Homo-oligomer: A and B are copies of this chain.
Amino acid sequence: MSSTAPSVNASSESAVLATARRARTAAADLAPLPRTARDAALAAVADALVARAAEVVEANAADVGRARANGTSAGIVDRLTLTEERIAAIAADVRDVIALPDPVGEVVRGSTLPNGLELRQVRVPLGVVGIIYEARPNVTVDAAALCLKSGNAVLLRGSSSAHASNTALVAVLRDAVASVGLPADAVQLVPGESRDSVHELMTARGLVDVLIPRGGASLIETVVTESTVPVIETGTGNCHVYVDAAADLERAVEILVDSKADRPSVCNAAETVLVHEAVADRFLPMALAALTSAGVTVHGDESWRRAGAEAGIEVAAVTDEDWAVEYLSYDIAAGVVPDLDAAVAHIRRWTSGHTEAIVTGDTAAARRFVSRMDSAAVMVNASTRFTDGGQFGFGAEIGISTQKLHARGPMGLPELTSTTYVVTGEGHTRG
């Protein structure tokens, strides 16, 4: 709240707080602007990215070179690398954002009260959105585009490994925004590469309206526990697949393999499979064969290890660490449960609240499972991989919230807004 904002005192103020204060001023200027002005800024951004791709690629080369010199893995280096083609694709994504519906100004609720007062609850921008993220420089543009579209000023804090790339991208973004008469400070990089600068961002109450950490569990845990600015938790996905007694087992194998192995490095990939004991004898051999041929290592309980031994497939002994961890790799924890309620209890104990799936042909079992989960998404006879803003038809995604307040699950443009009650009368008083 403004009342808790540090008072203006440029001389004593840190670079981070000064940046946040400029963002706050920019946010105040952005909020009243119509869609046309915000869309014009996004079009200018897309054009500028293509026009100035060469300078971005050059800056990126410095980051890539440093990463290679530090012996960074090829996968990470690839995620870090920008080419003119990749920049053109990022610009195309920005143009897609222009086409999305405007969340700002939507009347969420409205009525005329008995006393004649006209009540409207209207969507408004959050104000200043801080994004703390790792590697991927494309996030710099994606996040800025979604914040601009929703009328927010954005403070970007990328990883130091992409600092040169992010600096070049933000320079392009700021020039483009300013070229159509919007405040350049609507898009800023948080100065400083030290943890101190992150801590200042996390404690800039009254200047920053929300922080969205995007990255590994440790980054998110740090932000959630240290921040005094409101935070939206994203991304940690210890997702489960439960194969019920009434499951179509062929279908269950397909859903399990897709959930685990389609793309193991993402948060909606499955990390644990639980199987009803009534179908374990038939399902485990099928699942072990399919998972193994997909390159997945199974960390199983006694039942799974026995099935593995019979099939000549190595199954590691599962531990509490396995139940708890988000592998993000070709590994899966596997157990057999006596019934659905035991699966529910296991999942509630270990889940990160992202996505759980049940495979069953029994409507009562599906209903019981869905009503007892405590996660952002529950899949019935579908892969956990479908928890995604694009798959849900949101057109864009700033992240996937695993918390319960404000936003839960894939976050699109409406999740980057708040609301204000506008009440219109003709001299109404209560006394």
- Measured CB to CB, the residues of A under 8 A from B are 1-4, 28, 31-32, 111, 113-114, 117, 119, 121, 126-127, 205, 209-210, 221, 224-225, 228, 230, 232-233, 236, 238, 248, 251, 254-255, 257-258, 261-262, 324, 348-353, 366, 368, 370-383, 385-387, 391-393, 402-406, 408-410, 418-431
Residue of B221, B353, B424, B430 near A380 (CB, 8 A) is B424
Residue of B238, B368, B405 near A232 (CB, 8 A) is B405
Q: Is the CB of B380 within 8 A of A2?
A: no
Residue of B111, B350, B370, B405 near A422 (CB, 8 A) is B370
Q: Is the CB of A353 within 8 A of B230?
A: no
Provide the residues of chain B in CB contact with A324, threshold 8 Å. 3
Q: Is the CB of B254 within 8 A of A382?
A: no
Provide the residues of chain B in CB contact with A261, threshold 8 Å. 431
- A1 and B251 CA atoms in complex are apart in Å by 30
Q: Is the CB of B32 within 8 A of A378?
A: no
Provide the residues of chain B in CB contact with A119, threshold 8 Å. 392-393
Q: Is the CB of A430 within 8 A of B350?
A: no
Q: Is the CB of B421 within 8 A of A28?
A: no
- Answer whether A2 and B405 are a contact pair too, CB < 8 Å, given A377-B421, A423-B379: no
Rounded to whole Å, the gap between the CB of A401 and the closest CB of chain B is 10
Provide the residues of chain B in CB contact with A419, threshold 8 Å. 408-409
Provide the residues of chain B in CB contact with A403, threshold 8 Å. 1, 230
User: In terms of DSSP, what is the predominant structure of the interface of chain A?
Assistant: mixed
- Answer whether A376 and B420 are a contact pair too, CB < 8 Å, given A3-B351, A210-B404: yes
- Answer whether A423 and B386 are a contact pair too, CB < 8 Å, given A113-B391, A258-B429, A374-B2: yes
* Residue from the set A121, A205, A254, A374 with the largest chain B CB neighbour count within 10 Å: A374
Q: Is the CB of B404 within 8 A of A350?
A: no
Q: Is the CB of A429 within 8 A of B385?
A: yes
* Residue from the set A119, A368, A420 with the largest chain B CB neighbour count within 10 Å: A420
- A341 and B119 CA atoms in complex are apart in Å by 24
A126-B404, A381-B425 given. 8 additional CB < 8 A pairs? A31-B372, A205-B225, A210-B404, A224-B228, A230-B403, A380-B423, A385-B431, A409-B419
- A422 and B379 CA atoms in complex are apart in Å by 6
Residue of B1, B353, B373, B427 near A381 (CB, 8 A) is B427
Rounded to whole Å, the gap between the CB of A391 and the closest CB of chain B is 7
Provide the residues of chain B in CB contact with A230, threshold 8 Å. 230, 403-405
Q: Is the CB of A427 within 8 A of B251?
A: yes
Rounded to whole Å, the gap between the CB of A345 and the closest CB of chain B is 9
Q: Is the CB of B3 within 8 A of A386?
A: no
Q: Is the CB of A383 within 8 A of B429?
A: yes
- A311 and B104 CA atoms in complex are apart in Å by 47
Rounded to whole Å, the gap between the CB of A295 and the closest CB of chain B is 13
* Residue from the set A232, A349, A378, A405 with the largest chain B CB neighbour count within 10 Å: A405
Q: Is the CB of B209 within 8 A of A427?
A: no
Q: Is the CB of A352 within 8 A of B262?
A: no
Provide the residues of chain B in CB contact with A422, threshold 8 Å. 370, 377-378, 380
Q: Is the CB of B374 within 8 A of A428?
A: no
Provide the residues of chain B in CB contact with A352, threshold 8 Å. 1-3
